[in-house]
Amino acid sequence: MAEFTLELNDDQKQVRDWLHGFAEDVIRPAAAEWDEREETPWPVIQEAAKVGIYSLDFYAQQFFDPTGLGIPMAMEELFWGDAGIALSIVGTGLAAVGVLANGTEEQIGTWIPQMYGDADDVKVAAFCSSEPDAGSDVASMRTRAVYDEAKDEWVLNGTKTWATNGGIANVHVVVAVVDPGLGSKGHASFIVPPNTRGLSQGQKFKKHGIRASHTAEVVLEDVRVPGSCLLGGKEKLDERLARACEKARQSGMGVPPLERSRERGEVKNAAMATFEASRPAVGAMAVGTARAAYEVALDYAKTRHQFGRPIIDNQGIAFQLADMRTQIDAARLLVWRASWMATTGKPFTSAEGSMSKLYASEVAKTVTAQAVQILGGNGFTREYPVERMHRDAAIYTIFEGTSEIQRLVIARTLSGMPIR
């Protein structure tokens, strides 16, 4: 078990500096263009694949870093470059985490490589959980998966929304209801292979921020996938559903609509298992965006003169920057703690994963807004990047669990009560 340390080792520093260089030299110069175009930045993804950043090997190395800091360090540096382009580069990772969290070794080995492709033929993947009427309320999910025993196939019908890479992905990971009577415990995850009939892209969303990242609806109409595409396998699913049914019967109260944390030993929900694994990484993304905005504001405050002196000479500006840096460092520490705990098998007894995502997300919104304010009128224009960073930061308190849901998870974990 790796001991907790705040000092990156030489290998980690080398990777961090390499990623920072890519973010500075490749991502940042392209950020404004792709934000305006609101299109997937395929040339940047291609370049990331050529140098080895967009690859299964790279993410596996970071994922299996024994300190747990590989992924958050990578996310912070890439999102320091630009949130929209970085999300296009790392968006496939959520689908990969969905397979890692719920799949068998054979499924992991079969499908995750197909999600990335290679430098000559880049692919992307999509994780499809949210629905038009089921975002935070996962128990309201309507997409159904029905087993056709005669053909050993699952038939999927429904509409997913807010799917990063939805419709353009090579591989889709879809969360669907297999037992409506069990609420969120009656869900399972399925692989939808490339070119499967019945899957199509619905509406592509024009967004406030992260506009270089493709976000769309995914429509499933009698989509048939082999039984082997059920993540974890049918035997494991049947056992899990049986335990959930028995628990619901014994309690006489049914199943609560929101999943409690895995650390309590309860039957896990397919979507929640994915989000639990990714929350500290999202926190690291938020830290990267906040840090980028802070650095622009700090440099501007040192060089911008008003009333015969740099504006940083005014306490009103200097104190804001002091608070911004303090909040960023505190957010990073929460992210690193949660990442280290997850990697070393320490339970989130106080919902530390949600804490890291909650605080870092709120810090990103606050810091980017302060950066705009420090730059004044310039900060409100697209001539300076803080305007884009502020728009991008809004997503962190919304996706992969809103701030309100994070607080709910934390409160339930601390109290042991079904707070609503």
Q: Average of pLDDT values for 340-348? A: 92
**Pick the catalytic residue: 47, 239, 400, 404?**
400
Residue 278: pLDDT band (50, 70, 90) is confident
Q: Average of pLDDT values for 352-372? A: 98
Residue 255: pLDDT band (50, 70, 90) is very low
Q: 58-79: per-residue pLDDT in tens?
A: 999 998 999 999 999 999 999 9
For residues 328 and 291, is the Cβ–Cβ distance under 8 A?
Answer: yes
Residue 384: pLDDT band (50, 70, 90) is very high
pLDDT at position 134 is: 80
Among residues 154, 33, 24, 40, the alpha carbon closest in space to that of 89 is found at 40
Torsional class of 174: left (φ above 0), alpha (ψ -120 to 50), beta (otherwise) = beta
The residues near 29 (Cβ < 8 Å, ≥ 6 apart) are: none
Of the listed ranges 74-78, 229-233, 236-240, the one predicted with least confidence:
236-240
Q: 169-227: per-residue pLDDT in tens?
A: 999 999 999 999 888 889 999 999 999 999 999 999 999 999 999 999 999 999 999 99
Percent of the chain with pLDDT over 90: 84
Helix locations, 215-269, DSSP H = 234-251
Residues present in the chain in total: 420
Q: Answer yes or no: is pLDDT of 249 > 80.
A: no
Q: Answer yes or no: is pLDDT of 37 > 80.
A: yes
Q: For residue 95, how many other CB atoms are within 10 A of its CB?
A: 29
Percent of the chain with pLDDT over 70: 93
The distance between the two most distant Cα atoms of the chain, rounded to a whole number of Å, is 82
pLDDT, averaged across the chain:
92
Q: pTM of the full predicted structure?
A: 0.91
Q: Answer yes or no: is pLDDT of 270 > 80.
A: no
Is 105 catalytic? The answer is no
